[in-house]
Amino acid sequence: MLVVRGTTAMAEVASDSTNPDITLLRSINDLAKQAPRGVDRAVELVGEYGLIVLTALLAGWCWWRVARRSADAPAAVAGVLWSCIAAGVALLLNIPVRALVERPRPYVDHDGLDVLVRGHHTASFVSDHVTLVAAVAVGLFMVSRTAGAVAIGLALAEGFAQVYVGAHYPTDAVGGFALGAATALLLAPLALALLTMLTRSLARGRASFLVVARPAPYGRPPRAGSPHRWHSAADKDLAA
């Protein structure tokens, strides 16, 4: 029995050394072993909650400060709205993916990991956290390259954090990024067509401030650099 166990352990070590996914997992997770407890705790909190909160705040900023002031505000606001919806759709799509792949968490099959977070379920592929942030990031990139680039950076940081805490393999993070990005991109044409109809309708009603930034009060010149120029019917008559 001891011989069998020893042979199995040696085979696992050999497999670990030849598998780049596991090699990278151990390399990143070893940082957690060497870091002070305070750093580990910070990465744990940032990876579990912080980056998702930052992504949500970034989406809110992009809606309020960028999309509502764009040349085609209804379409831009629809894009921000889609980025958030895409995240939810991607998480739903991950349920059958997780059930189909049934990949155990790294700490189940590999000893010696410094496990800071064990996850909310036993399946590892793909990472829900990375899927969510990546979907929002790609959706925002279609509205604002600046906001999208920042969000993509947050998605990459999320992937690193999930491997650092021992909750996921690197390929779980890559798979999550791919799933989130694919969901946001492939479903965008239909989703944006429907959502733009909604936002254009809102722009014509009392909730127009949710879609278009309010114009300057009548008689006051618009602020410098304002992307919108508002003209009343009286202005047009005077110009004529």
Could you read off the pLDDT of 199-225 as tens digits, one per residue?
A: 999 999 998 999 898 754 444 444 443
Q: Name the maximum alpha-carbon separation found in the chain.
A: 98
Angle between helices 145-164 and 170-186 in degrees, nearest 10: 150
CB half-sphere exposure, 65, CA atoms < 13 A: 9
Q: Is residue 227 part of a domain?
A: no
Return the pLDDT at 239: 41
Q: Is residue 9 part of a domain?
A: no
Could you read off the pLDDT of 32-84 as tens digits, one per residue?
A: 889 899 999 999 999 999 999 999 999 999 999 999 998 999 999 999 999 99
* More confident: 117 or 6: 117
Q: Distance between the two ends of the chain, CA-based, in angstroms?
A: 98
Please give the tally of structural domains in the chain: 1
Q: Is residue 3 part of a domain?
A: no
Enclosing domain of residue 83:
19-202
Q: Is residue 237 part of a domain?
A: no
Q: Other C-beta atoms within 10 Å of 149: how many?
A: 12
Return the pLDDT at 233: 41
Could you read off the pLDDT of 78-109 as tens digits, one per residue?
A: 999 999 999 999 999 999 999 998 899 888 88
Q: Is residue 93 part of a domain?
A: yes
Q: What is the pTM of this model?
A: 0.81
Q: Find the CATH number of the domain harbouring 30.
A: 1.20.144
The percentage of the chain sitting over the pLDDT mark of 90, rounded to a whole number, equals: 62
Confidence of residue 236 (pLDDT cuts 50, 70, 90): very low
Nearest CA to 164 out of 126, 112, 116, 121 is that of: 116
The percentage of the chain sitting over the pLDDT mark of 70, rounded to a whole number, equals: 81
Return the pLDDT at 98: 92
Average pLDDT, the chain: 84
Q: Is residue 131 part of a domain?
A: yes
Q: Which residue has the tokens 């960028």?
A: 66
Q: Is residue 72 part of a domain?
A: yes
Q: Is residue 112 part of a domain?
A: yes
